[in-house]
Amino acid sequence: MWAESDLYPGVSCLQSNTEPVNGTVYRMYHGTTERAAEQIKVFGFQPSQDGMLGRGVYLSRDLNKASRYPLDKPHERVVIRVKVDVGKVKKIDQQGHPLQKTWHDHGYDTAWCPPNCGMLSSNLEEDCVWDPKRITIIDVIPPSLQNTVLADPVEGKNYTMFYGTSKEDAEKIKAHGFCQSNGILGHGVYLSRDVEKAFTVPAHVPVHQRSVLRVKVNVGKVKKVDYQGHPLQKTWHDHEYDTAWCPPHCGMMVRSGLEQDCVWDPKRITVIDVIRPKSKLRSL
């Protein structure tokens, strides 16, 4: 898995749950081996001849999705960061869609499979780009052994996490610090090691008015809360835990299926910087 600090500081990772706009350039990711990445850098991408969405180059706007590939070579993985002119986009959001593998025959340049649509076991988004010439390599991200989103947080360790809020509230937090809120895990500051989770909140704030704070957190003593009705779901701090951790894909605890952390003491959190969500790729 890749550390979220691999993202450009101050530049947002595009939200994978936002439908891509025709003719827009997006940052995407492609998981492969280090050896294959060197070949791609020299010769360019080669389309897969078949897949869930048919022929094309398979990418994702979700870094965590790309970081899982190739499935059979976990110790050789790297992620190629690219920018893609998506051209004309077709949304494919169900198995057996009439254009699932024939979208290019109907004048589309990219097929987009949104997250949580039941087509992928990971429930993460996928993009299939027909013409490799639409893809420009930015760089290669090496794997990091730190800050894995899927691994249990280790007691007493520092982690990079993310907090989604409005631009206005981000400035207040930078000036005065975090305050507790009350939610599914009780009282605390709600954060995530998954930047994608942070980009989806607050839901009532328009995307152009949102900010994501990147922070450093000393998690202290951690309690894993992985199902509704857990005996310590809202009382973990009474049992001397400093952080409650809800892992990804643990049922209805978190609707998005992404991981969540609740930190009791705001003093454990240090703001690093602010990431601005954007709908288009910043010039690189």
Q: Which residue, 212, 235, 216, is CA-closest to 225? A: 235
Domain layout of the chain by residue ranges: 4-141, 158-275
pLDDT given at position 245: 95
Tell me if 4-141 shares its fold with 158-275: yes
The residue-averaged pLDDT of 149-167 equals: 86
Query: What's the DSSP call for residue 52?
Result: T
Q: The whole model's pTM is what? A: 0.56
For the ranges 19-23, 30-34, 196-200, 269-273, the lowest mean pLDDT is seen at 196-200
Task: For 51-70, write each residue's pLDDT tens digit.
Answer: 999 999 999 988 878 888 88
Query: Which is more confidently placed, 151 or 237?
Result: 237
CB-neighbour burial class of residue 85 (10 A; exposed 0-12, middle 13-18, buried 19+) = middle
SS3 for 199-244 is HCCCCCCCHHHEEEEEEEEECCCEEECCCCCCCCCCCHHHHCCCEE
| φ/ψ (deg, to 5) at 83 | -115, 140
Closest CA to 256 of 264, 246, 266, 265: 246
pLDDT band for position 143 (cuts 50, 70, 90):
low
CATH domain 158-275 topology: Phosphoenolpyruvate Carboxykinase; domain 3 (3.90.228)
Could you report the per-residue pLDDT of 124-137, keeping only the tens digit for each? Answer: 899 999 999 999 99
The yes/no answer on whether domain 4-141 falls in CATH 3.90.228.10 is yes
Integer Cα distance of 21 and 9 in angstroms: 24
* Mean pLDDT within 221-233: 95
Whether the predicted pLDDT of 16 surpasses 80: no
Percent of the chain surpassing pLDDT 70: 87
210-237 b/e (C-beta count within 10 Å ≥ 16 → b): bbbbbbebbbbebbbbeeeebebbbebb
Phi, psi for 69 (deg, rounded to 5): -115, 150
To which residue do tokens 């994978």 refer? 16
DSSP state of 55: S
More confident residue, 248 or 222: 222
Which pLDDT tens digit goes with each residue over 198-223?
Answer: 877 888 888 788 899 999 999 999 99
